A and B are shown apart, each in its own frame.
Chain A
């Protein structure tokens, strides 16, 4: 099969590794991690646009390297090719191998901030404080920076998801240093890339993947299945 994968760049290393091992030809397009911050309707519009650009004569399916992502895939319509999406809430669940492990970790570890290679190396270079101060002045800029980051006061632990793809220990070390800087506990948890590998291998078991046929769209279910299809 020839498959088109549209993925968030936060999964860059993991998706490249998975695509390399796929029995199929997988063409990959990465979209910016910043879609996450734009709100669900804007994110859906960008994903729809990318999915609609795929040449239906050249591929057999569109794969999404996304989860429900704050409803960023909710309402996405399959037009001419089936669209395949892993059943998960977010990229952390994708990196942990699926929603069950994510849920049990989430429920037993309140206040965890996650890091992975993508979360460490992509989009971290913006100096948000400096940008806000330049735009809103010293006093209001600092206030806004504190307000935007104040939710982090509620976190207690940083978990680095190690996938085994890392070239050395530098990612884990960065995460450990960040935890120390913030005064949080630190833990390394083992990632599980089998869900991503099955996505690009065409192994779309209904329990773990939603296949949206042409003429249907994605609907969030807010239960264990996470997403389902409905007529568009």
Chain B
């Protein structure tokens, strides 16, 4: 499809940066690079993950390549005034320090054209509330890797509800021990079983 597309799918960060630089020099717009090359590349990476051709390392390397290209493209995107696919606030819930899964989802969403505010790990409910307000977010992504910290997803959702933000922002949850059943129980709007489905789910929730 293109050198940038191939570099991302193959997880080659230097090649992705170089391909993005050359394309920009040749007059391709930043928005076109994202929409016609990077988004399809990350979709392909997600597809390969789904059919177990790719695993977590390949996802991380594709995300790394995508970010290398995005570093050149992002300033141009900002000045072009292009609207992101959605404004996302993401973090691992209070008490939980695991962040690999959350980082992969953040990268996949960023590659999918979303604007990301990453609050890191061990994030208190009120911090999510403040970030959703400050960033006018329309999507909140909550991660938990421990069954002992999963109830913090519930308290975070309750805090967002109490703050009157459920109309503004949808909430999706994920993490190894999290299930669709639990997502339904705590009133989340969506659940992603893995990082690969997160982008499609985020698009659906932000549509």
Q: Is the CB of B177 within 8 A of A71?
A: yes
A39 to B, closest residue via Cβ: B176
In the complex, A151 Cα to B146 Cα: how many Å? 14
Q: How far is the CB of B124 from chain A (nearest CB, A)?
A: 11
Partner-binding segment picked from B22-30, B34-42, B98-106: B98-106
Contact residues of B between 56 and 95, Cβ < 8 Å to A: 57, 60-61, 64, 95
From the candidates B154, B177, B182, name the one contacting A70 in the complex (CB within 8 A).
B177
B179 interface residue (CB < 8 Å to A)? yes
B147 interface residue (CB < 8 Å to A)? yes
Number of interface residues of A (CB under 8 A): 31
Q: Is the CB of B11 within 8 A of A140?
A: yes
In the complex, A7 Cα to B11 Cα: how many Å? 39
Q: Is the CB of B95 within 8 A of A140?
A: no
In the complex, A132 Cα to B103 Cα: how many Å? 19
Q: Is the CB of B147 within 8 A of A222?
A: yes
Q: Is the CB of B11 within 8 A of A222?
A: no
Size class of B's contact patch? 20 to 34
Main secondary structure, interface of B, reads loop
Q: Is the CB of B148 within 8 A of A103?
A: yes
A135 to B, closest residue via Cβ: B57
In the complex, A107 Cα to B149 Cα: how many Å? 10
Q: Is the CB of B176 within 8 A of A132?
A: no
Contacts of A107 in B (CB 8 A): 95
Chain B residues within CB distance 8 Å of chain A: 11, 13, 57, 60-61, 64, 95, 97-100, 103, 121-122, 145-148, 150-151, 154, 176-177, 179, 182, 185
Chain A residues within CB distance 8 Å of chain B: 39-40, 68, 70-71, 74, 89-90, 102-103, 106-107, 110-111, 132, 135-136, 139-140, 143-144, 147-148, 150-151, 154-155, 220, 222-223, 226
**Could you give 9 example pairs across A and B, Cβ below 8 Å?**
A40-B177, A89-B147, A90-B146, A150-B103, A151-B99, A154-B97, A220-B182, A222-B150, A222-B151
